[in-house]
Amino acid sequence: MTVMLEGRPVARAILDQARDDITGFVTQLGLLPSLAVVNTGNEPSALAYARAIARTAKSVGIPFLRIDLPAAVTIDEFDAAIEQLNQDETVAGIIVLQPLPPQIPKSRPSEIVAPAKDIDGMTLVNIGLLAAGTATLVPSTPAGGVEILHHYQIPIAGKYVVIVGRSLVVGKPLAMMLLAEDATVTLCHSRTPNLKEFTRNADIVALAAGKPGLLTEDMVGPTSVVLDFGVTMVDGSMTGDADPTVAKAVAAFTPVPGGTGIVTNAILVRNIVAAIRGSIC
C-alpha cells in the first residue's frame, strides 16, 4: 500500500522548532529583525506567494516587510532597493519574488542580494557553498523534499536517485544535497532520451520539470519513492508532474497539492532563523 508523504506534519515540526528558536532570540535581542519580501508589479502568483510567506512568518513571530516596486522599475532603481535592504540592520532576510519584469534580468537577485540575507539560498555565493557542502542558507524547495525523506525515515545513503528537471531552483541544488547524503544521482531533463530507462531503476524519483503527466505508471517500480515538485494549474486545479495513477503504483508518494509545497515555506522560516542567528553570532 502506498505511503502518502504528506507535507503538513513535516512543516509543523520545522515551525515548532523555529518558534523555540525565535523565543530565544526575542529574549536575547528584545526586537527581532524582519523578513523582507520584494515584489515587482502585480503578478497574481507572486502576490499569492507573498501572502503565504507572510502568514508562515507571522505564525512563528517573525516580523514581515513587503516592498512593492512598480512593474516599470529600472534596473538602477531595483538595485538601489535591494542595496538598501542589504544595509538595513533591522532586516535579516530578503526574498525577491519571480517573475521579474523583462527589463530586470532573472538572475539579478542572485548577483546583488547579500549572501548572509539570502534566505532563498539562490545567490551565487550560497550556491557555491552548497556545492562545497558548507551552505547554511539553502534553496527552500529542494531542501523541503530532502526534509520529507528525513521525516518519513526514507533512506538516502546508497540509493539511486533520478531527478527530472535541471533548473537552479530545484533540480541542480537537489542533486547537490542528495550527493552530500551519499546518494547516487542522475540528473535528467527535456533532452534525455528514453527517460523510462532511468526512472524505472530508481529508488527515488524526484520530479521538477513542470510537465503534468510526465511520469506514468509504467515508468516506476513498486518500491519506488516519488517526490513530486511539479506545480501546474490544469482546468483550475493544481497538479504535479506525475500522472495520478503513479500514486498507487509506488511505495511512497508526495501528493500535489499537500506534499513538497507545504514544506517550502517552513524551510524559508528555518533559513530566516539561521540568518538571524548568523547576524548575532
The confidence score (pLDDT) of residue 236 equals 82
Q: How many CB atoms lie within 10 A of CB 221?
A: 15
Q: Which comes out higher in pLDDT, residue 29 or 116?
A: 116
| Spatial CA neighbour of 208 closest among 153, 132, 152, 264 | 264
Over range 193-204, report the average pLDDT.
Answer: 97
pLDDT single digits (tens) 199-219: 999 999 999 999 999 999 999
Chain CA centroid to CA 274, Å = 15
206 versus 30: the higher-pLDDT residue is: 206
Q: H or E segment at 278?
A: helix 260-280
How much is the pLDDT for 237? 85
Q: What is the spatial distance between Cα 204 and Cα 142, in angstroms, rounded to a whole number? A: 14
DSSP H helices, the chain, are 8-29, 44-59, 75-87, 108-112, 124-132, 140-151, 171-180, 195-199, 260-280
What grid cell was written down for 216? 506514468
Q: Indicate the SS3 state at residue 65.
A: strand
pLDDT band for position 31 (cuts 50, 70, 90): confident
CA–CA dist 197, 109 (Å, integer):
37
pLDDT in tens, 102-147: 999 999 999 999 999 999 999 999 999 999 999 999 999 999 999 9
Q: Domains (ranges, CATH) in the chain?
A: 31-115 (3.40.50.10860), 140-262 (3.40.50.720)
Q: What is the pLDDT of residues 167-183, one digit of tens each?
A: 999 999 999 999 999 99
Do the strands 237-239 and 232-234 form a parallel or antiparallel pair, or are they unpaired? antiparallel
Q: How many CB atoms lie within 10 A of CB 202?
A: 25
Q: Whole-model pTM?
A: 0.93
Report whether 242 contacts 253 (CB < 8 A): yes
Angle at 130 between CA 128 and CA 134, to 5 degrees: 105
Does 243 score more than 80 pLDDT?
A: yes
